[in-house]
Chains A and B, each alone.
Chain A
Amino acid sequence: MIMDRKKSEGSKSIVDKSRLVDESGLNSRIVSFVTKWEFILVVLLLLEIVVFSNLTPHFLNTFNLLNTTFTFSEKAILALPMIFIILSGDIDISVAGIMALSSFAMGYASSQGAGTGVLVLIGLCVGVIAGFFNGLLVTGLNMPAIAVTLASMTLFRGISQAILEDQAYTEYPEKFGYFGQGYIGDSMVPFELVLFLVLAVIMGFVLHKTTYGRKLYAIGNSSSAANFSGISVNKVRLTNFVLNGLFAGIAAVLLTSRIGSTRPNIATGFELEVITLVVLGGVSITGGKGNIFGVVLAIFLLGYLKFGMGLLNISAKVMIITTGALLIIAVLIPGFMDSTKARNKLKRQQNLETTEKNLNKGIDE
């Protein structure tokens, strides 16, 4: 061993006060907590619950609140690996295309008499293969993820359209219906919701508690610095795309099971809603920033917003507008807050330095 590892008794680091602005004060800590995006999402969610439960008696109803999760569980599940993808600076807009392909494969297998277990296996495998295909093109040939997945989206959906034309598969085994329609035991809790929550816990653990998650943040912040630190950047990105394919397969099983049929246009537009959820949850589209809590909050915020507005008979189109606006605001406001913070910091620093300079007058050379 070359290093002599001297233990660090007393060699505590010295704060260079002229260069750093003290942010440990109670005031600034409160400010930074209140301006946290997850905090804002929690406030919005509470606000939503209060407003809707005052406007309609049907909102705060356990059965309704649980049952309406059917409408967003598949997208919620898709959002989980999409966090990984976006966090590491990539994007995948082919998820809905993968779902179409995977649903098509299951429909075909079912028409050939495959049982439930085989169907699920086929659905997941098609997803994994499609995700691997994307990942290989992105990492192997170094092509931009947005271009690759745009093309593969067309390809995946195109395959199912070429064969299915305007037909549909509608015959599925009875048991297969459980995944998208069933409840846990005799309770009111949908299987889809529980599956989502379990997957969210797993993915959250991977993201925040494992080295894989750490690598994602490193790559998203600077893939070259990550590479120079010995991280196999492309291996991680490829894994992300495969994961995304797997989850698209899961979502395809759920959606196909729920609606009981496969058409080429199944899940159209899902990719954009999923990306919206992830960005609304505070994940930076340029990578490196965000966490699972924000996205889970955004999922419920948006899901229940739709539900509440539906109860109030507000048109679905207003909902579309609200979603779009929320997406932009979700990026606009934190950006605005950051630049204000930076400006304030600059100002404080300037004041600090002027005072310091007055104190040091005469001592300086």
Chain B
Amino acid sequence: MAKPILQLENITKYFPGIRALDQIHLNIYPGEVHALIGENGAGKSTLVKIMTGVYQPTNGRILYKGNEVTFPNALDAQRAGIAAIHQEASMFPELTVTENIFMGHHSGKSGHVDWRSMKKRTKDLLDKMELDINPDSLIKNLSTAQRHMVEITKALSIDADVVIMDEPTSALTLKEVEDLYKIINQLKDAGKAILFISHKFDEIFSVCDAFTVFRDGRYIDSGRISDSSIDDIVKMMVGRSLDKMFPKKKAEITDTILEVRNLSKIGIFKDISFSLKKGEILGFFGLVGAGRTEVMRVLFGIDKKESGTILINGQEVVIHSPAAAMKQGIALIPEDRQDQGVIQDMSLTHNISLPQVDSLFPFGVLNKKIEDDLTREYGSLMEIKAASWDVNANTLSGGNQQKVVIAKWLATDPLILIMDEPTKGIDVATKAAVHSFVSEMAVKGLAVILVSSELPEVLGMSDRICVMHEGVITATFSRDEADSEKIIRAATGHDSIEEIV
């Protein structure tokens, strides 16, 4: 077997307050697709940033083509031949496709930018990928999927020896995914090494040769895909079997509490209709950009709807602000915990009392005892681990922050709880805790909407599942009829199962 092109040895990375990576190993070989597997928060993205020079490791060494190297900055890694498709939005919305592809390595001599050759190369690259995108379009005018394809094109524009793909398919349709697989195979044949990061097993088993599993920032194991089964890898990844991850309890599903009819927002989603009953957990699945989050934002009064009606307990309601949504008993655990869920520089007490700040205090005068009591009650219920209730939210781990968000919304005593990606980026233990908590709440009669991009989570937790694709609900399944193939087919807008790779 050939020598590895990239070796990571004992890589450790600390951030203030958190240990993101703990003595990680990884070997990548030329002509191979290597899967890096782990749950959200396992440290995959941090490792990508280390390999691409965005972060520096605290300890450990990187061997590239047999030599020890350091990449003090992203450009150094690029020049050495390591390209990455980053998971985060790493585009310049106000600039053209051409420039987005070439930013950082504009073509031309001694600092001069040769637009003509860049445009031509962009056109060639886009043609090669069979993409119908104008090189002169501004990124802000492209759709989510198109942006992702540009991001992929960007990584290929550098003639790299190692290509890192951090969840490249999360917003792609099946056709685009197939194109991507073709490209991966071409790269592989050209002797390039590919690091493929994903937690979708169908993808991993169809394109990857080898794998490495991380869990909670630690190296667990690596091996050949052909010698392993999904079950083995899941066990390594999760550290326990799946049924414990999704402790779904039988809840009594009673009256309809929420009914949504033909809800539309031009260009975002269209004719969304569904209903939700007390005690029910309704899953919402779809690709990134399918419009799930946007529907929830409208239900919670963050955005305005264009048309359609919302009924609560049979009565039509107008929800023009989050405060109005709260009055109807709706609570929303937002998608972006860090920016929307908690206020980082505020104490846990202040965070938890925030949604009720207007109703909790007589005459608008703050009262420490009132909010302390509230915090103690719900903070303890959620088993938040913190030095005290007065520490700022930013001193907590992701999982504990999420518990704060849940606590602050449970404290409002909601009838309908909308959770948008509630377990994204949190550790396995907290994840299981959140799941069992949601399940218990449903048993007590809470109506829950669970928006998730993790198929096992949706399958494991939901009583019914709505699947969205490009702003439309394409299918609704009951718990018994749902399976991953049907759901993916509906989520990618494909009718025939044969098209699934």
Name the residue of chain A whose CB is nearest to the CB of B348: A13
Cα distance A6–B380 when bound, in Å? 9
Whether B366 contacts A16 by the Cβ 8 Å rule is no
By a CB distance below 8 angstroms, the chain B residues around A3 are: 410, 413, 444
Whether A209 contacts B321 by the Cβ 8 Å rule is no
Cα distance A11–B384 when bound, in Å? 10
Whether A6 contacts B346 by the Cβ 8 Å rule is no
Of B16-24, B112-120, B261-269, the stretch lying at the interface with chain A is B16-24
A8-B376, A224-B339, A225-B341 known; A211+B16 contact, CB < 8 A: no
A13-B384, A215-B357 known; A222+B322 contact, CB < 8 A: no
* Those of B336-368 within 8 Å (CB) of chain A: 336, 339-346, 350, 354-355, 357-358, 361, 364-366
Cα distance A210–B387 when bound, in Å? 26
Q: Looking at the complex, which one of B342, B386, B415 makes contact with A225 (CB distance below 8 Å)?
A: B342
Does B4 count as interface, using CB distance less than 8 angstroms? no
Cα distance A108–B345 when bound, in Å? 48
Does A110 count as interface, using CB distance less than 8 angstroms? no
Whether A212 contacts B364 by the Cβ 8 Å rule is yes
Does A350 count as interface, using CB distance less than 8 angstroms? yes
Whether A350 contacts B58 by the Cβ 8 Å rule is yes
Of A77-85, A99-107, A262-270, A341-349, the stretch lying at the interface with chain B is A341-349
A2-B446, A224-B340 known; A346+B16 contact, CB < 8 A: yes
Q: Looking at the complex, which one of B302, B366, B377 makes contact with A7 (CB distance below 8 Å)?
A: B377
Q: Output the least CB separation between B408 and chain A (Å).
A: 7
Of A27-35, A186-194, A229-237, A317-325, the stretch lying at the interface with chain B is A229-237
Does B121 count as interface, using CB distance less than 8 angstroms? no
Residue-wise interface mask of A (13-31) relative to B, using a CB-CB cutoff of 8 A (1 in contact, 0 not): 1111011111110000000
Whether B326 contacts A230 by the Cβ 8 Å rule is yes
Q: Looking at the complex, which one of B345, B364, B387, B444 makes contact with A15 (CB distance below 8 Å)?
A: B387
* Those of B370-413 within 8 Å (CB) of chain A: 376-377, 379-381, 383-389, 391, 395, 397, 400, 408, 410, 413
Q: Looking at the complex, which one of A5, A16, A225, A289 makes contact with B340 (CB distance below 8 Å)?
A: A225
Whether A210 contacts B343 by the Cβ 8 Å rule is no
* Contacts between chains A and B (CB distance < 8 A), count: 138
Does A221 count as interface, using CB distance less than 8 angstroms? yes
A3-B444, A211-B361 known; A20+B395 contact, CB < 8 A: yes
Cα distance A24–B14 when bound, in Å? 22
Whether B322 contacts A210 by the Cβ 8 Å rule is no
Whether A228 contacts B444 by the Cβ 8 Å rule is no
Sorting the interface of chain B by its residue count into under 10, 10 to 19, 20 to 34 or 35 or more gives 35 or more
Does A4 count as interface, using CB distance less than 8 angstroms? yes
Q: Looking at the complex, which one of A16, A19, A221, A342 makes contact with B343 (CB distance below 8 Å)?
A: A221
Select the residue from A13, A230, A349 with max chain B CB neighbours within 10 A: A230
By a CB distance below 8 angstroms, the chain A residues around B81 are: none
By a CB distance below 8 angstroms, the chain A residues around B58 are: 350
Does A129 count as interface, using CB distance less than 8 angstroms? no
Name the residue of chain A whose CB is nearest to the CB of B339: A224
Does B150 count as interface, using CB distance less than 8 angstroms? no
Does A243 count as interface, using CB distance less than 8 angstroms? no
Whether B377 contacts A8 by the Cβ 8 Å rule is yes
Cα distance A224–B354 when bound, in Å? 13
Does B332 count as interface, using CB distance less than 8 angstroms? yes
Does B323 count as interface, using CB distance less than 8 angstroms? yes
* Those of A17-68 within 8 Å (CB) of chain B: 18-24
Q: Looking at the complex, which one of B340, B354, B357, B385 makes contact with A14 (CB distance below 8 Å)?
A: B385
* Those of B286-323 within 8 Å (CB) of chain A: 300, 302, 321-323
Whether B413 contacts A16 by the Cβ 8 Å rule is no
By a CB distance below 8 angstroms, the chain A residues around B379 are: 13
Name the residue of chain B whose CB is nearest to the CB of A284: B345
Whether A19 contacts B322 by the Cβ 8 Å rule is no
Whether B380 contacts A8 by the Cβ 8 Å rule is yes
By a CB distance below 8 angstroms, the chain B residues around A172 are: none
Whether A228 contacts B302 by the Cβ 8 Å rule is yes
Cα distance A342–B14 when bound, in Å? 12
Q: Output the least CB separation between B369 and chain A (Å).
A: 14
Cα distance A217–B350 when bound, in Å? 10
Whether A13 contacts B380 by the Cβ 8 Å rule is yes
Does B247 count as interface, using CB distance less than 8 angstroms? no
Whether A214 contacts B16 by the Cβ 8 Å rule is no
Whether A2 contacts B365 by the Cβ 8 Å rule is no
By a CB distance below 8 angstroms, the chain A residues around B444 are: 2-4
Does B493 count as interface, using CB distance less than 8 angstroms? no
By a CB distance below 8 angstroms, the chain B residues around A170 are: none
Q: Looking at the complex, which one of A1, A209, A229 makes contact with B366 (CB distance below 8 Å)?
A: A209
Whether B366 contacts A214 by the Cβ 8 Å rule is yes
Whether A222 contacts B376 by the Cβ 8 Å rule is no
Whether A211 contacts B364 by the Cβ 8 Å rule is yes
By a CB distance below 8 angstroms, the chain B residues around A24 are: 387
Cα distance A318–B415 when bound, in Å? 64
Name the residue of chain B whose CB is nearest to the CB of A226: B343
By a CB distance below 8 angstroms, the chain B residues around A345 are: 16-17
Q: Output the least CB separation between B496 and chain A (Å).
A: 40
Does A353 count as interface, using CB distance less than 8 angstroms? yes
Q: Output the least CB separation between B412 and chain A (Å).
A: 8
By a CB distance below 8 angstroms, the chain A residues around B323 are: 230-232
Whether A350 contacts B355 by the Cβ 8 Å rule is no
By a CB distance below 8 angstroms, the chain B residues around A227 are: 302, 322, 340
Does A294 count as interface, using CB distance less than 8 angstroms? no
Does B460 count as interface, using CB distance less than 8 angstroms? no
Cα distance A12–B385 when bound, in Å? 9
Cα distance A264–B357 when bound, in Å? 44
Whether A229 contacts B365 by the Cβ 8 Å rule is no
Select the residue from B321, B334, B387 with max chain A CB neighbours within 10 A: B387
Cα distance A96–B334 when bound, in Å? 41
Cα distance A212–B358 when bound, in Å? 9
Name the residue of chain A whose CB is nearest to the CB of B380: A8
Q: Looking at the complex, which one of B15, B322, B383 makes contact with A11 (CB distance below 8 Å)?
A: B383
By a CB distance below 8 angstroms, the chain A residues around B14 are: 346, 349-350, 353
Whether B340 contacts A228 by the Cβ 8 Å rule is yes
Does B37 count as interface, using CB distance less than 8 angstroms? no
Cα distance A252–B280 when bound, in Å? 61
By a CB distance below 8 angstroms, the chain A residues around B326 are: 230
Name the residue of chain A whose CB is nearest to the CB of B440: A4
Name the residue of chain A whose CB is nearest to the CB of B342: A225
Cα distance A228–B303 when bound, in Å? 11
Does B441 count as interface, using CB distance less than 8 angstroms? yes
Q: Looking at the complex, which one of B300, B345, B381, B415 makes contact with A2 (CB distance below 8 Å)?
A: B415
Q: Looking at the complex, which one of B17, B334, B389, B408 makes contact with A19 (CB distance below 8 Å)?
A: B17
Cα distance A222–B392 when bound, in Å? 14
Residue-wise interface mask of B (468-499) relative to A, using a CB-CB cutoff of 8 A (1 in contact, 0 not): 00000000000000000000000000000000
Q: Which residues of B contact A (CB under 8 A)?
A: 14-19, 58, 300, 302, 321-323, 325-326, 332, 334, 336, 339-346, 350, 354-355, 357-358, 361, 364-366, 376-377, 379-381, 383-389, 391, 395, 397, 400, 408, 410, 413-415, 441, 444-446
A-B contact pairs, 8 of them (CB 8 A): A15-B386, A212-B364, A214-B350, A222-B340, A222-B343, A229-B354, A350-B14, A353-B14
With A228-B332, A232-B323 already in contact, 6 other A-B pairs whose C-beta atoms are closer than 8 Å: A11-B383, A13-B386, A214-B350, A217-B350, A221-B343, A221-B344
Question: What 3 A-B pairs are tightest by C-beta distance, nearest first?
Answer: A8-B380, A230-B322, A11-B380
